[in-house]
Amino acid sequence: MTVPSAVQLILFGAAGDLAHRKLIPALYDLHREGHLPDEVDVVGVDLQEMDPAAFVEFSCDAADSLGRFFPRDADADNWAAFSERLSYVQGDATEPETYARLGEHLEKVGPKGERPHRVFYLSVAPFLVESIVKNLAEAGLLDDVERDRFVVEKPFGRDAESARQLDRVLLGTADEGQVYRIDHYLGKETVQNLLAFRFANALFEPVWDARYVDHVQITVSETVGVEHRGGYYEGAGAMRDMVQNHLLQLLCLVAMEPPVAFKADEVRNKKVDVLRAVRPVTRERVHEVAVRGQYGEGFLRGERVPGYREEPKVAKRSATETYAALKLEVDNWRWHGVPFYLRTGKRMPRRVSEISVQFRPVPHRAFPSGADEAFQPNRLVLRIQPDEGIVLRFQAKRPGPQMLLQPVAMRFDYDEAFDTPPDAYETLLLDAIRGDATLFMRADQVEAAWQVVDPVLEAWAESPPAEFPNYAAGTWGPAAADRLLARDGRSWSEPLPSDPIPPGTAPEAVADAHPEEGEGGTGHPG
């Protein structure tokens, strides 16, 4: 798809955290790299009083504070050209008058002649989404089904029923093709590369099934706590905040069948098929397949950090989980009998997002006694963050006169092979501008994901945990999560270090060289 010749991108919640940290820098990078059309307007909308000059200054501060693009004195021409396209409309998102002013403003700043495409980005609290969409429709700003669309940030409801209710409102005022439900994980290069890795290469797809794969692990761990977003997190928890969206989307990409064509609905159809094939978790089985945890005080990189209940805006006896692990099974011909283990947590030892595919061991080892004492099954790891790349572990003979096997790693690193990958929001914003919904979620996909986790959430709500906090900050989660795999004769894989492992060094002895904080959903921006 090509970028339209004229675009207006309207940021609701333009004075908020997400706009400041991600959206405005991403738009500038797209402009600087020549991906945006010459006829582009970026219009901020927020309750905060701010004149156009102040919004330009706010936007430049967002850039400078991240260091992601050049300050004005180092990149003056690009910044001057971009800042000319910035404007601002102050107003209450719940008041119809705001949309009348917005409509007039868009006509004023827009190009003469051809009607521009319009993308409304709703970087706001969830309770404002319905009001904004209804007001946009009533103001006639969503009338052009082909050219008008809006982007909605997660969370998409709190369960399947609330997600259906939200969609009834959205689809009562707009067409499904105008609704872009964003999950920023799907914009990461390694996540997208999983499709290329599987379906553009003949090497791995023939063994990508239950005959050869023993199990799959998906880990998203963060070193951060809830920081200043305890109020949001108290109403969400790890299962709603990370598993229902990010981790289940990764599961879909691992398990989906080959699409007939790389088109939005075809790819999304295959993802929905996976979610519908997930074996339902009954209330009676929740304790067998799900584990929750909450971090207590502990130490990270030698410094004491508080427990979750000590964080601002968190209840002193909070039952909110900051860790969740889940064992799922996909009941179809390709994956029958292969468990998928998902885990996510805050205040973990390292910031890691990776997919680990462990293959079955060879059926017969024809090596001398003692030759394969260090044998480990083949393992394919797709590293999403940090240091995006792919690692394949296999056996090799150690140098010397004897036949001794040792696991070694074959590595592909994005930064070495290509330029630094673009930020996920750059990819997704450009797709929204183009009208390419491949990496965005459809209503039935969101509902199917909620149906996977709803039984777990309902069971947890009925039986508040008695042992919270049950893991110390700086550890890999509660002991119950280890038992979840131990019952199957397996264990969690140690996430791969960022740097190659020197021979004879245990993975756990290698320090994480990239301790920067995670991007996971610690709260809704805006």
Q: Which domains does the chain have, with CATH numbers?
A: 6-153 (3.40.50.720), 187-420+442-509 (3.30.360.10)
DSSP letter for 5, please.
S
Q: Is 271 annotated as a binding residue?
A: no
Q: What is the 3-state secondary structure (H, E, C) of 379-399?
A: EEEEEEECCCEEEEEEEEECC
pLDDT of 499: 45
Note if the bond before 258 is cis, omega within 30 degrees.
no
Which residue ranges of the chain lie beneath pLDDT 70?
1, 61-76, 364, 366-368, 371-374, 496-526
Residue 246 annotated in active site: yes
pLDDT of 147: 93
Write the pLDDT tens digit of every residue in 83-142.
Answer: 888 899 999 999 999 999 999 999 998 777 778 999 999 999 888 999 999 999 999 999
What is the C-alpha to C-alpha distance for residues 106 and 42, in angstroms, rounded to an integer? 10
Residue 371 CA: distances (Å) to CA of 269, 359, 407, 507: 47, 20, 12, 21
pLDDT of 217: 97
Q: Is 184 annotated as a binding residue?
A: yes
Q: Is 22 annotated as a binding residue?
A: no
pLDDT of 155: 82
What is the C-alpha to C-alpha distance for residues 38 and 411, in angstroms, rounded to an integer? 40
Note if the bond before 155 is cis, omega within 30 degrees.
yes
Q: Residue 328 forms beta bridges with which residues? A: 340
Catalytic residue among 31, 215, 246, 524: 246
pLDDT of 509: 32
